[in-house]
Amino acid sequence: MKTAVEWYSEQLKYNLGRIVINQDWQLFDKIIQDAIDIEKLQIMDAWNNRAGFDGVLTYTDNRTAEDYYNETFKKEL
């Protein structure tokens, strides 16, 4: 599985000519949003698959992956 950054880099390299020549900024915005969505899913997957060092789920945090993501990464600056 590619990380969101690897996927974004690949997409940018593949599409950069079209974006610049045609000034297709909607495509650029879509690529960015898709990378953000991939990153969110990867973070949520990591949250759902977390386990203690012994391989057993030892956390008492009952937040959902969505709650964790929003509380951690959607903070207002």
Measure CA of the first residue to CA of the last residue in the chain; give whole Å.
Answer: 31
Q: What is the pLDDT of residue 55?
A: 57
H-type alpha helices, 23-77:
25-48, 65-73
Q: What is the pLDDT of residue 32?
A: 92
Q: What is the pLDDT of residue 58?
A: 58
Contact 11, 35 (CB under 8 A): yes
Amino acid at 2: K
Contact 13, 51 (CB under 8 A): no
Q: How many separate domains does the chain show? A: 1
The pTM (predicted TM-score) of the whole model is 0.66
Average pLDDT, consecutive stretches of 10 residues, N- to C-terminus, the chain (77 residues): 88 87 87 93 85 58 84 74
Residue range of the domain that includes 56:
4-73
